[in-house]
A and B are shown apart, each in its own frame.
Chain A
Amino acid sequence: EPEVTQTPSHQVTQMGQEVILRCVPISNHLYFYWYRQILGQKVEFLVSFYNNEISEKSEIFDDQFSVERPDGSNFTLKIRSTKLEDSAMYFCASSVDDRGTGELFFGEGSRLTVL
């Protein structure tokens, strides 16, 4: 069964360092998402991406964050200069379409720890 894969599963970094989280969405999917979950809290939307551009972003997704699809398969989230409060689980998701009745498929998450 096709799945969304994320790497790394866990990354520890020093505050101020750049981090890139990688995702390989399901191959025929066209819509891609990043979500964040701070420990013990709910899952929060960061950004949606379609046709090589951001279609929506939340207020969390400030100038420190960027996304790109560099090679047609990977979908990356970059945090330019990490802060302590960026410590969280980051989930990538993809879907075939943006219909309200369509399912999003989630990866297993990348846990980021900022020291």
Chain B
Amino acid sequence: AQKITQTQPGMFVQEKEAVTLDCTYDTSDPSYGLFWYKQPSSGEMIFLIYQGSYDQQNATEGRYSLNFQKARKSANLVISASQLGDSAMYFCAMREGVDNQGGKLIFGQGTELSVKP
């Protein structure tokens, strides 16, 4: 079974509007972290935002926020006021605690976001 599922292969958004990128996860581990990375066409992985499983508040970092719904096992990324430079591939990833020997990250398939002027 997929540990991380991103159901939107591609998304379009108008510049200056908000967009939500979906991510659901599957774990029985009580201690885990959820991460979002941006990958522009140049290829590097840029860390955007992190949510810990014990965090009570949704994480926010500038224009990025994470809509964390623990009971539904979802961790959607919200980008507010989209900019042309936001056009990129976005990956959701999870790091488990107890059962994860060595602490690897597991990635979803990614969502390609295109921001239209």
Contact = CB atoms under 8 A, between A and B. Distances in A.
B115 to A, nearest CB: 20
A22 to B, nearest CB: 17
Interface string B13-54: 000000000000000010111010100000111010010111
Interface residues of B, number: 31
B47 A101 contact: no
23 contacts: A31-B102, A33-B102, A42-B109, A43-B45, A43-B107, A44-B107, A45-B105, A48-B101, A48-B103, A55-B101, A55-B102, A56-B101, A93-B105, A95-B103, A98-B102, A99-B31, A99-B33, A99-B97, A100-B33, A100-B103, A101-B97, A103-B47, A109-B43
Give the size category of A's interface with B. Answer: 20 to 34
A49 to B, nearest CB: 8
